Amino acid sequence: MRKGQIDFITMGCSKNLVDSEILMRQFEANGYHCTHDSEKIEGEIVVINTCGFIEDAKQESIDTILELVKAKEEGRIRKLFVMGCLSQRYQKELEEEIPQVDKYYGKFNYRQLLTDLGKSEVATCSGQRHLTTPSHYAYLKISEGCDRRCAYCAIPLITGRHVSRPEEDILQEVRTLVAEGVKEFQIIAQELTYYGVDIDGKQHIADLIRKMSDIEGVEWIRLHYAYPNKFPKELLTVMNERKNVCKYLDIALQHISDNMLSRMHRNVTKSETMDLISEIRKSVPGIYLRTTLMVGFPGETEKDFQELMDFVRWARFERMGAFAYSEEEGTYSALHYKDDVPSDVKQQRLDALMALQQDISAEMEAEKIGSSVRVIVDRKEQDYYIGRSEFSSPEVDPEILIKSDENLKIGSFYNVRITDSSEFDLYGEVI
Known binding-site residue numbers for [4Fe-4S] cluster = 13, 51, 85, 146, 150, 153
Q: What is the distance between the alpha carbons of residues 411 and 309, in angstroms, rounded to a whole number?
A: 38
Q: How many CB atoms lie within 10 A of CB 414?
A: 21
- The percent of the chain in helix, strand and coil, each rounded to the nearest 5, is 35, 25, 40
Single out the residue of 288, 286, 295, 354 nearest to residue 317, CA to CA. 288
Which residues are paired to 392 by β-bridges?
none
Single out the residue of 239, 232, 267 nearest to residue 253, CA to CA. 267
Distances from the Cα of 169 to the Cα of 111, 112, 173, 246, 323, angstroms = 18, 21, 6, 22, 35
In the DSSP assignment, the letter for residue 192 is G
Question: Which residues are part of a known binding site?
Answer: 13, 51, 85, 146, 150, 153
**Amino acid in the structure at residue 125:** C
Q: How many CB atoms lie within 10 A of CB 327?
A: 16
**Distance from first CA to last CA of the chain, Å, rounded?**
49
Angle between helices 234-241 and 205-213 (to 10 degrees): 10
DSSP run (H or E) holding 70? helix 55-73
DSSP helix/strand/coil, 412: coil
C-alpha angle 76-89-158 in degrees, rounded to nearest 5: 125
DSSP run (H or E) holding 49? strand 43-50
